[in-house]
């Protein structure tokens, strides 16, 4: 009798863990959709200016603005544009979006006045959590696969 009870109990335990495993799998596959959707939502509305405004709906980059700058009677036609970021690594992405990032300021050629003027004046600062960043990153690196 005891044996029957024990084997029944073990049986319930085993099937219980099978059920919870398939539940976990189901939740995981659902959370991939959610991660994409969540990333998309944040990309378009990240508690601040929408990323899409400057990076385009597909994160492939766009021309933000063009302006003419005149210095010492020499005129420069400058263009602020973003480049394709659909293949950016998560490491680089989180580094750039980290509000405290300490990326060294590049040294600009004196003839490259446009880059010098534009540098540091384009990307707003965002305060996004690691999870939010990973979701946006997931979204922009998976846009083309849909």
CB–CB of 82/56 below 8 Å? yes
The single residue among 35, 39, 55, 135 that binds ligand HEC, judged by CB under 6 A, is 55
Q: Which residue, 82 or 114, is less far from ligand HEC as judged by CB?
A: 82
CA atoms within 13 A on the CB side of 115: 8
Nearest residue to 136 via CA among 36, 34, 30: 36
Q: Which residue, 76 or 134, is less far from ligand HEC as judged by CB?
A: 134
The distance of Cα 129 from the centroid of its chain, to the nearest Å, equals 11
Q: Assess 122 for contact with ligand HEC (CB under 6 A).
A: yes
CB of 124 to ligand HEC, least distance (A): 5
Integer Cα distance of 126 and 52 in angstroms: 14
Q: Which residue, 21 or 144, is less far from ligand HEC as judged by CB?
A: 144
CB of 61 to ligand HEC, least distance (A): 6
């Amino acid at each position: 009798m005891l044996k029957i009870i024990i084997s029944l109990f073990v049986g319930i335990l085993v099937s219980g863990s099978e059920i919870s495993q398939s539940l976990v799998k189901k939740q995981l596959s659902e959370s991939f959709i959610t991660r994409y959707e969540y990333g998309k939502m944040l990309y378009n509305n990240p508690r601040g200016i929408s990323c899409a405004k400057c990076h385009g709906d597909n994160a492939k980059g766009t021309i933000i603005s063009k302006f003419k700058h005149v210095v010492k009677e020499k005129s420069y036609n400058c263009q602020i544009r973003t480049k394709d970021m659909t293949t950016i690594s998560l490491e680089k992405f989180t580094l750039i979006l980290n509000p405290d990032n300490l990326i060294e300021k590049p040294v600009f050629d004196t003839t490259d006045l446009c880059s010098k003027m534009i540098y540091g004046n384009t990307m707003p600062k965002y305060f996004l959590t690691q999870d939010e960043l990973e979701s946006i990153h997931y979204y922009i690196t998976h846009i083309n696969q849909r």
